[in-house]
Structure 1
């Protein structure tokens, strides 16, 4: 593990972001923080009567078979590949537990695919408790207000990229979980086709499919800079 990977893992642990999960295909160059994905998935299950999920986690189903991403990934991000979802399930006895579990699995898989763009190969539920009554719905905190970027008003590449991100339909704000919302790195030495790489961090609206917003962000940032760098997108929140 490199120093950058260790630093990124420390940041993720401190902020509770969890793993950085691959969105879409290897060509999409996009990731989402596990915490953001988990909130969307738990919200979907909250619409089902008589169930509660705990300890929802996502990881690669087969790490050894995961391909390389098309662009440099955020530090310590998971490579592209089908995910395995695990969770503890508590449910009432209103329906047989296998029926309830199948309904929860289907809801999770559908939300992961249609709302986020995650590829989920397995959903493993462990029944841990029987509930006497329907659980109380959790109240979701309001998203933080958009904060102005440092150095606003300058016409740097970072500023141009940031403006391009904010102009994309579905983006609600820039974020900076790994320090900056826009990170521009120089071309790698010895690369066959050397070009700069840009990593952007943002939040997207819950009414948009996350991976499609990320695709638009990548295209917008590449178009905004004259040398058309490679672009990676890290979604850290779904508002």
Structure 2
């Protein structure tokens, strides 16, 4: 008997397609980085963090940022979060960033590296609220001049209108600094699992992501009936 190959049932094909799509989406978003500490119950997509940090690097004269990575500085020092974490989220703990850059010879390369390091640390702390304690910068190339370029805008997740009927979505969008509900993990921006609620949102320009997440958690905790735990995932940080 000749077998032409293995054929999945139609339902199996649909499941496989959904799994592949979920994997592609997770790779696009990157890891989910902890915002604040274990009690803050907040995370930020690596893609959103990368966009903010690259805009900060673009303002440093004579430097062009290349590869950028953020990870736990010491995984063993991470603490369990106080609320259920989103899928594949890193646990709260001190973070460290690794950056590669090219720089012009106008300044000594250590000075250029220091300026980039300061810009990245400042944006991580003041714009986002990431607990980045150090940034390792490696200059990989020397340029005659830094070409003029525009940092591509982060593609904003699609907005979702309030309307889940529970009042949670309306409470979230009323918080100053929330630009919109912006789901990326599927099943909507407001996900209720028993007594736990997860919110996915975009932060408006001029607001620190961690501060907005804290305010959202407080607003959701004040809804009736109040959920036992609330987690916030920031999926985008809008530009002015």
Q: What are the ranges of 5 or more consecutive residues in structure 1 without an aligned counterpart?
A: 1-5, 187-195
Q: Is the 8 A contact 1:24 1:117 kept in 2?
A: yes
Q: Is the 8 A contact 2:163 2:169 kept in 1?
A: no
Q: What are the ranges of 5 or more consecutive residues in structure 2 without an aligned counterpart?
A: 1-19
- 1:55 match: 67
Given candidates 58, 80, 84, the residue that maps to 1:68 is 80
For residue 9 of structure 1, report the CA deviation from its aligned partner: 5.4
State how far apart, in whole Å, the 2-side matches of 1:73 and 1:145 are.
20
- 1:183 match: 191
- 2:29 match: 17
State how far apart, in whole Å, the 1-side matches of 2:131 and 2:61 are.
26
Q: Is the 8 A contact 2:101 2:139 kept in 1?
A: yes
The TM-score with structure 1 as length reference comes to: 0.85
1:169 aligns with 2:176: yes
Give the total of aligned pairs: 219
Q: Is the 8 A contact 1:202 1:237 kept in 2?
A: yes
- 2:5 match: none
- Post-superposition Cα deviations, 1:148-189, rounded to whole Å, max 9, x if no partner, equal 43xx6562x3xx111111111011111110111011112xxx
- 1:206 match: 205
RMSD over aligned CA atoms reads: 2.2
For residue 147 of structure 1, report the CA deviation from its aligned partner: 3.6
Q: Is the 8 A contact 2:160 2:180 kept in 1?
A: no
Equivalences for residues 94-113 of structure 1 within 5 A: 94-113=106-125
The TM-score with structure 2 as length reference comes to: 0.85
1:81 aligns with 2:102: no
Q: Is the 8 A contact 1:9 1:76 kept in 2?
A: no
State how far apart, in whole Å, the 1-side matches of 2:202 and 2:39 are.
21
State how far apart, in whole Å, the 2-side matches of 1:171 and 1:34 are.
19
- 1:38 match: 50
Q: Is the 8 A contact 1:198 1:230 kept in 2?
A: yes
- 2:152 match: 140
If you compute each CA radius of gyration, which structure gives the higher value, 1 or 2? 2
Given candidates 128, 131, 142, the residue that maps to 1:116 is 128
State how far apart, in whole Å, the 1-side matches of 2:137 and 2:96 are.
11
Moved over 4 A (4+): 6-10, 142-146
